[in-house]
Amino acid sequence: MGFATSNTDPARKHAAAPAFTLAESLIASVILAVAAVAIVGPIMASRQQTAAADTNSAALALARQLIEEIAAKPLMNPDGTTSWGPSAGQTSRSQYSNVGNYNGYVDVSASMTMLNGTAVNLPAGATYSRTVAVEYRSSPAGSAVVSGDYAMVTVTVNPSNGPSVRLSQLLTRVPLKRNTNS
């Protein structure tokens, strides 16, 4: 008489169950690591480009703010003379009375303020320096002169962690001639 075998034998159940081998597990781990590296690279590049764009946008906003402030001032002193830098007693740009007072102006800070004292929101970790050059001209395309009816104002902003931004604007005290024949 023979012994009957049943399908409930614990040794047989274990042998029939599917399982991963050590080699398959290692291959899966390598594939997962390669996928993770492939995903992290573009994410880090995107983060760096976003930070650079934020820095560039802040530098451009600072340049525009200062050049608009300068353009709002008269080109000449009330007596018709020009200034090269601040006049005596002008210790801050809120005291500047004409475009020429801004020539040579420099400010450096991680937090800048508008003329009215309002703080400008800047990206964290960056320091910005702004410089102004004013060049008088006798004509819009002319070369630099001591005094003229035109002034080329150049504002340069240098962030500590990015490329510089330079804006120039030609200002004039000559009224525009408009064609009234319509």
Q: Domain residue spans in the chain?
A: 37-172
Q: List b or e across 99-131, with b for residues whose CB sees 16 or more CB atoms inside 10 angstroms.
A: bbbbbebeeeeeebeeeeeeeeebbeebebbbb
pLDDT digits (tens, 9 = 90+) for 55-101: 888 888 889 999 999 999 988 877 777 777 888 888 888 888 889 89
pLDDT digits (tens, 9 = 90+) for 14-65: 555 577 788 888 999 999 988 888 888 888 888 888 777 888 888 888 899 9
Average pLDDT over residues 103-111: 85
Average pLDDT over residues 138-155: 86
Q: Which range, of 30-39, 109-118, 123-132, 139-148, averages the lowest pLDDT?
A: 109-118
Query: Residue 142 has what pLDDT?
Result: 82
Average pLDDT over residues 176-181: 61
Q: Which range, of 8-12, 51-55, 117-121, 147-151, averages the lowest pLDDT?
A: 8-12
Q: Which DSSP string do the residues of the chain spell out, in sequence order? A: -PPP--TT-HHHHHHHS----HHHHHHHHHHHHHHHHHHHHHHHHHHHHHHHHHHHHHHHHHHHHHHHHHHTS-SS-TTS---SSPPTT--SGGG--SGGGGTT-EEEESS-B-TTSPBPP--TT--EEEEEEEEEESSTTPPB-SS-SEEEEEEEEEETTS--EEEEEEEESSPPP-----
Q: Band of the pLDDT at 2, cuts 50, 70, 90?
A: low
